[in-house]
Amino acid sequence: MVEEMGLLNHAQAALLLDVSTKRVGELVRLRKLTDFAFLGRKYVSMREVWSRNQQELKASRPPWPVTKRIAASLKAAVKHDSLQMRQGGFQGPYQRKLHRDVKKKQRERDKAVLKAILGK
């Protein structure tokens, strides 16, 4: 235990690695972390957890290739109904424009109130 700088249970290791306890068990099965049995309970090495934490491994899927992203976008566009597509398709840009217009009107009202207060 001294050589390993202490032992951590799976829940403690999961907190340090910012993963789930199931993932810690999976890392043990994949032999990325060494498993220690002590008094009938399973532990992992603090030294190994610390070194794995220092690597700052990114836990995500690799990015899709451009061709797959384009294909997924086209499939999503085809599944939209034709009426919505004729009105502008995906409404994200439209909603952002509405939000910008509301903010602009609010700024104009604030300027008018400030002018009235200052007497200009």
pTM for the whole structure: 0.45
49 and 71 part of one domain: no
**Could you tell me whether strands 7-9 and 35-38 are parallel, antiparallel, or unpaired per DSSP bridges?**
unpaired
Tens of pLDDT, residue by residue over 17-62, are: 888 889 888 889 988 888 888 788 888 888 888 788 777 666 666 7
43 assigned to some structural domain: yes
Tell the burial category of 88 from Cβ atoms under 10 Å away from its Cβ (0-12, 13-18, 19+): exposed
21 assigned to some structural domain: yes
35 assigned to some structural domain: yes
Which is more confident, 84 or 20? 20
42 and 84 part of one domain: no
With b for 16 or more beta-carbon neighbours within 10 A and e for fewer, the 36-61 pattern comes to eeeeeeebbbbebbeebeeeeeeeee
Determine the residue type at 94: Y
104 and 78 part of one domain: yes
84 assigned to some structural domain: yes
- Domain holding 72, by residue range, is 66-118
71 and 49 part of one domain: no
50 and 77 part of one domain: no
- Position 86 scores a pLDDT of 59
37 and 72 part of one domain: no
Count other C-beta atoms under 10 Å from residue 12's C-beta.
17
Total domain count, the chain: 2
33 assigned to some structural domain: yes
- Which of 64, 82, 61 is closest to 73 using CA atoms? 64
Beta bridge partners of 41: 38
CB 53, CB 16: distance < 8 Å: yes
